[in-house]
């Protein structure tokens, strides 16, 4: 039982005007099931942004679960997006690999609105393999933010979701094996090793990452699924891999994603950066994945935005909901007029081929103007689907 959740439920339950004919949950679920919706759902990834929107600094919420949850619910109550994204930062993901006294060297909390920066925890492939072979991630977990912050925050939001009778879904996030493999050592090192290290050694490392991820699923089954979670975002890695590397190594993510989708009926895949069509093909062929949060075309591919939206929508036809628009960069640096235009372009290019969800390719930057977030919501709400 959480006081902060109960206060919000008392303030909101039965008192909110409806948005359209469907509930938020029904709208997002229908789009992911490739069914008709009253409006295109809007679910931008607001995890850091909602902290500053609600008037908190990142320092203030870093160790304060109630304030973190308060920020997420307040933002939803004001804006009425079709999902609530939980707050996640990189320390939730890797603090458990690091003994407490060493953590200050690894995480840098800069300004009030800045992202948490981190330093890699292994510098050679041998070191990275050793971390996994010795199960270093289990040794330091009990006082890590995975336990002290991520889990209680997640439970509070799920409590809110359930007490509000599933009007609005809470989206949780999990990193895939390749995301971990890259994060632990930094992406550029990982990419270099794919070229210079023996293939079987890279394979061994990726398999270790896969094993850890599969083991972590028991936690998610027990604490997330059993408490009502149905919407899961997979934070993918392998965003800068070439076609050969995707062929050789990317199967670990597919294996993992298919297991996740067996537990969470609304699983979707976050693939940010410059997207290779081949990577999107691979994701699109993954069993159970109902949506893809994609991003920009790869370097050198000279297509217009409407062409790119259409190309991807055709790929996802009959398989996935296309999640995009505007770009994260435009949301932060563009005008609200430009944001609105891109949302319209995306909807126009996508709906003839598959369902759509307004969800920029990556997390909304903390410095993004409020009017730009409102512009993406208002633009989608203004259009009724016939």
Binding site for Zn ion (CB under 5 A): 272, 362
Q: How many residues are present in the chain?
A: 386
Q: What is the DSSP string of 187-233?
A: HHHHHHHHHHS-HHHHHHHHHHHHHHHHHHHHHIIIIIGGGT--EEE
Q: Which residue is nearest to Zn ion (CB)?
A: 272
Alpha carbons 126 and 53: distance in angstroms, whole number = 43
Instruction: Give the three-state DSSP class for 116.
Output: strand
Nearer to Zn ion, 320 or 328 (CB): 328
Nearest approach, Cβ of residue 147 and Zn ion (Å): 24
Nearer to Zn ion, 90 or 225 (CB): 90
Nearest approach, Cβ of residue 3 and Zn ion (Å): 33
Instruction: Encode burial over 196-210: b for 16+ CB neighbours within 10 A, e otherwise.
Output: eeeeeebeebbbbbb
Tell me, rounded to whole angstroms, the distance of Cα 175 from its chain centroid. Answer: 8
Nearer to Zn ion, 29 or 292 (CB): 292
Alpha carbons 276 and 298: distance in angstroms, whole number = 5
Which tokens sit at 307? 């062409």
Nearest approach, Cβ of residue 55 and Zn ion (Å): 25
Nearest approach, Cβ of residue 334 and Zn ion (Å): 18
Nearer to Zn ion, 158 or 175 (CB): 175
What's the sign of the alpha-carbon dihedral 277, 366, 53, 152?
Answer: positive
Alpha carbons 296 and 284: distance in angstroms, whole number = 16
Nearest approach, Cβ of residue 239 and Zn ion (Å): 8
Nearer to Zn ion, 68 or 328 (CB): 328
Nearest approach, Cβ of residue 350 and Zn ion (Å): 20
Nearer to Zn ion, 131 or 332 (CB): 332
């Amino acid at each position: 039982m959480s006081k902060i959740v109960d206060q919000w439920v008392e303030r909101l339950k039965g008192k909110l005007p409806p948005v359209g004919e469907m509930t938020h949950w029904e709208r997002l679920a229908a789009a992911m099931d490739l069914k008709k919706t009253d409006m295109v759902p809007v679910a931008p990834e607001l995890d850091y942004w909602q902290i500053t929107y609600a008037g908190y600094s990142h320092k203030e919420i870093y160790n304060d679960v109630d304030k973190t949850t308060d920020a997420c619910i307040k933002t939803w109550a004001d804006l009425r997006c079709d999902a609530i994204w939980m707050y996640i930062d990189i320390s939730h993901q890797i603090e458990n690999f690091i003994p407490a006294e060493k953590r200050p060297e690894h995480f840098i909390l800069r300004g009030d609105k800045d992202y948490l920066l981190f330093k890699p925890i292994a510098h050679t492939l041998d070191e990275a393999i050793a971390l996994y072979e010795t199960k270093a991630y289990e040794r330091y977990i009990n006082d890590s933010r995975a336990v002290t912050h991520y889990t209680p925050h997640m439970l509070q939001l799920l409590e809110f979701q359930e007490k509000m009778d599933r009007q609005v879904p809470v989206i949780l996030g999990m990193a895939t094996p390749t995301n971990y493999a890259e994060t632990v050592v930094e992406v550029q090192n990982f990419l270099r090793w794919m070229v210079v290290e023996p293939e079987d050694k890279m394979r061994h490392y990726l398999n270790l990452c896969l094993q850890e991820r599969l083991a972590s699923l028991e936690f998610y089954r027990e604490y997330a699924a059993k408490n009502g979670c149905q919407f899961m975002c997979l934070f993918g890695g392998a965003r800068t891999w070439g076609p050969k590397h995707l062929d050789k190594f990317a199967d670990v993510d597919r294996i993992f994603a298919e297991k996740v989708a067996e537990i969470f009926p609304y699983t979707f895949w976050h693939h940010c950066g410059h997207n290779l069509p081949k990577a999107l093909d691979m994701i699109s062929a993954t069993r159970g994945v109902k949506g893809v949060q994609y991003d920009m075309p790869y370097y050198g591919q000279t297509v217009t935005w409407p062409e790119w939206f259409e190309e991807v929508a055709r790929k996802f036809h009959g398989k996935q909901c296309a999640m995009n628009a505007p770009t994260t960069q435009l949301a932060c640096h563009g005008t609200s007029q430009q944001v609105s235009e891109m949302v319209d372009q995306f909807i126009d290019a996508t709906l003839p081929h598959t369902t759509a969800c307004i969800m920029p390719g990556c997390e909304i930057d903390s410095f993004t103007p409020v009017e730009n977030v409102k512009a993406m919501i208002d633009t989608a709400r203004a259009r009724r689907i016939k």
